[in-house]
Structures are given as C-alpha cells and as structure tokens.
C-alpha cells in the first residue's frame, strides 16, 4: 500500500501536468474502480482547469474551476503514467482505467491492476464533511505537527505507540512502514504506551520531541529518494529486515518482527525502549 512518501512523489510528478492546466478530455475505460465513478464524471471534468493540485494524507486532490475537487487514491496497486509531447506513444494496457488529456500537452494515465484505487468528485460542502478527509489529523511535515500536538493527541492513551501512530486522526498519512522506521530512528519501542510520551496534563515529554523529529526526518528523506527516481521504493532501516543486524552503530541487536493491529512491526529490542 503506498504511504505518504510514495503519494507525495506522485504529486510532485503530476503537479506540472495538472496545475493551471485544462482537462481537455477524459477517457473512462470502465464503470468503476473500488467504487463506481460518480454520475457524469467525464462531463464534470472536461473543460475544467486545475487551480490547485495537492496531497492530503494519502489522497491526491485537484481543485477545479467549477469549485469541485477531484479526489484520487492509489489503493494498493494504482499508479500514474505520464506521456509528454515528443514522448514515444505508449500502448494502452488492459489495466489503464482513466486517461486524462491535458492542455499542458501531457497525457496522464491511471493504471490499477487490482482496482482498489478510487476517484470521485466532491463539492466544497461534501469535501468539508467527508467521513475520512474531515477527520484527518495534522500533516506530519507541516508546522501544525510538533511535539506538543503529538503529546496532546496521545495523552492518557494505553494503546501501543506504533498503533497510535497509525491513527489518521493523530497524524495524517503516516503508515505502517514509516511508523516502524521513525520509531527506530527515535529509539522508542513500538510497544510502549502512547501516553508515555506525554505528561498527565498533555505536555510533551522528551520522547515526543524525538519522535516528531524522527517522523519528519524519515518522511523527508523517503520523499527525496523517491522523487529522484533512483529507487522504486525507499531503502528501509528495519522494515522487512527481520533477523538482520540493527543498523544503529554499536547497538549489536537484531531486528525482530511482531504483529500489532494485524500489521507487522519491525524493531530492535536492544536500542528501542
């Protein structure tokens, strides 16, 4: 499942194609993805200019001149292919489900073999009341996310810290992989109680500062690697490295795996406390 860095890398690639560009045509090659496309999907898109193209958590949002927002989610296997003027023509694949032709000259194709992706159109009122988007916490790379915000959200929680980090109401877009990575950078056990990083009054303890810094560091580095296209995915410190030596110099521990909230957590029991 793509997480925040993967989605942000996609946003960076698509932004020059979409922002301030008119949608000249849309070919919808099937009636649904995860859910059916909204009524008059093509008609509501063609002729509209994308005013703002942004990411919110793991969603891509294109605000149109009609004031509607095109909301897109990659699902488990979705991705975009971009063809620019002068590029060699690309053969249409059976998993190419939506094709955007932009006034910028770009042709943007959404390909999704498993069809767990999603595209919909929302009015401003629908966007503001959306059951997922309206409940999201702060973006982890924004100024709104700091040790104080994380401590307030975790105050009094006995939930394991790793599980709490996956709560999108606490921090938006952080997923299973990068939560494990950040906890290792911060030297914090994924099993410790989330409330342990805050005082009884909700003020941040020292681990809250370490953890927010680690989250920002891990995500920033992953986005830079992915955007450079040197990696199909970012190299990981602990994720999916069960049994390997801990990469922290001088630690001497080995990476273990355990299940938390039906997901695999990777950590070093020696240096993460």
Q: Which of 112, 135, 158 is the last residue of a domain?
A: 135
Please report, for residues 176, 224, 244, the alpha-carbon distance to residue 233 in angstroms, rounded to integers and kept in the order given: 14, 11, 19
Q: Is 2 among the residues known to form the active site? A: yes
- Please tell me which residue, 192 or 88, carries the higher pLDDT value: 192
Residue 38 C-beta-side C-alpha neighbours within 13 Å = 17
Q: Torsion angle of alpha carbons 152, 154, 157, 162, nearest 10°?
A: 180
For residues 9 and 120, membership in a common domain is answered with yes
Q: Is 269 among the residues known to form the active site? A: no
Is the model's pTM score more than 0.75?
A: yes
Asked if the model's pLDDT at residue 260 lies above 70, the reply is yes
Catalytic position from the list 115, 205, 263, 269: 263
Q: Is 58 among the residues known to form the active site? A: yes
Residue 225 C-beta-side C-alpha neighbours within 13 Å = 14
- Please indicate, yes or no, if residue 79 is contained in any of the structural domains: yes
Instruction: Please state, for a pLDDT cut of 70, what percent of the chain lies above it.
Output: 98
Q: How confident is the model at residue 235 (pLDDT cuts 50, 70, 90)?
A: confident
What is the C-alpha to C-alpha distance for residues 213 and 235, in angstroms, rounded to an integer? 19
What is the C-alpha to C-alpha distance for residues 256 and 146, in angstroms, rounded to an integer? 29
For residues 59 and 180, membership in a common domain is answered with no
Q: Structure tokens of 49?
A: 């200019």
Catalytic position from the list 55, 58, 157, 237: 58
pLDDT number for residue 134: 97
Nearest to 53 by CA among 11, 83, 93: 11
Mean pLDDT of 118-123: 98
What is the C-alpha to C-alpha distance for residues 184 and 204, in angstroms, rounded to an integer? 19
Asked if the model's pLDDT at residue 229 lies above 80, the reply is no
3-state secondary structure the chain: CCCHHHHHHHHHHHHHHHECCEEEEEEECCCECCCECCCCHHHHHCCCEEEEEEEECCEEEEEECCCCEEEEECCCCCEEEEECCCCCCCCCCCCEEEEEEECCCCEEEEECCCCCCEEEEECHHHHHCCCCHHHCCCCCCCCCCCHHHHHHHHCCCCCEHHHHHCCCCCCCCCCHHHHHHHHHHCCCCCCCEHHHHECCCCCECHHHHHHHHHHHHHHHHHHHHHHCCCCCCCCCCCCCCCCCECCCCCCCCECEEEEECCEEEEECCCCCC
Asked if the model's pLDDT at residue 53 lies above 90, the reply is yes
Catalytic position from the list 2, 138, 204, 207: 2
pLDDT number for residue 233: 56
Q: What is the pLDDT of residues 65-103, one digit of tens each?
A: 999 999 999 999 999 999 999 998 888 899 999 999 999
Catalytic position from the list 3, 6, 8, 68: 3
- Please indicate, yes or no, if residue 141 is contained in any of the structural domains: no
- The CATH number assigned to the domain holding 90 equals 3.20.190.10
- Please indicate, yes or no, if residue 35 is contained in any of the structural domains: yes
What is the C-alpha to C-alpha distance for residues 159 and 152, in angstroms, rounded to an integer? 14
Q: What is the pLDDT of residues 1-22, one digit of tens each?
A: 799 999 999 999 999 999 999 9
For residues 119 and 220, membership in a common domain is answered with no
Residue-number span of the structural domain to which 41 is assigned: 4-135
- The CATH number assigned to the domain holding 176 equals 1.10.8.50
Q: Which of 135, 169, 199 is the last residue of a domain?
A: 135
Residues near 228 by beta carbon (within 8 Å), at least 6 away in sequence:
none
Q: What is the pLDDT of residues 194-205, one digit of tens each?
A: 999 999 999 999
- Please indicate, yes or no, if residue 228 is contained in any of the structural domains: yes
């Amino acid at each position: 499942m793509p997480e925040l860095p993967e989605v942000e890398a996609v946003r960076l690639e698509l932004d020059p194609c979409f922002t301030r560009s008119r949608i000249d045509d849309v070919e919808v090659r099937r009636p649904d993805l995860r859910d059916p496309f909204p009524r008059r999907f093509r008609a509501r898109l063609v002729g509209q200019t994308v005013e703002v193209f942004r990411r919110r958590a793991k969603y891509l949002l294109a605000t149109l001149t009609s004031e509607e927002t095109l909301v897109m989610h990659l699902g488990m296997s979705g991705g975009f292919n971009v063809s620019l003027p002068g590029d060699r023509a690309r053969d249409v694949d059976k998993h190419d489900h939506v094709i955007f032709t932009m006034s910028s000259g770009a042709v943007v194709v959404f390909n999704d073999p498993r069809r767990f992706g999603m595209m919909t159109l929302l009015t401003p009122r629908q966007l503001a009341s959306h059951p997922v988007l309206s409940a999201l916490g702060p973006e982890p790379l924004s100024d709104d996310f700091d040790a104080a915000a994380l401590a307030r959200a975790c105050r009094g929680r006995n939930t394991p810290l790793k599980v709490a980090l996956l709560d999108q109401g606490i921090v938006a877009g952080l997923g299973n992989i990068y939560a494990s990575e950040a906890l290792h950078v911060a030297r914090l056990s994924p099993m410790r109680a989330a409330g342990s990083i805050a005082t009884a009054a909700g003020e941040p303890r020292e681990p809250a500062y370490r953890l927010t810094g680690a989250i920002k560091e891990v995500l920033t580095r992953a986005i830079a690697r992915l955007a450079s296209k040197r990696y199909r995915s970012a190299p990981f410190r602990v994720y999916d490295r069960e049994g390997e030596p801990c990469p922290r110099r001088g630690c001497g521990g080995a990476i273990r795996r355990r299940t938390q909230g039906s997901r695999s957590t990777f950590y070093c029991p020696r240096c993460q406390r």
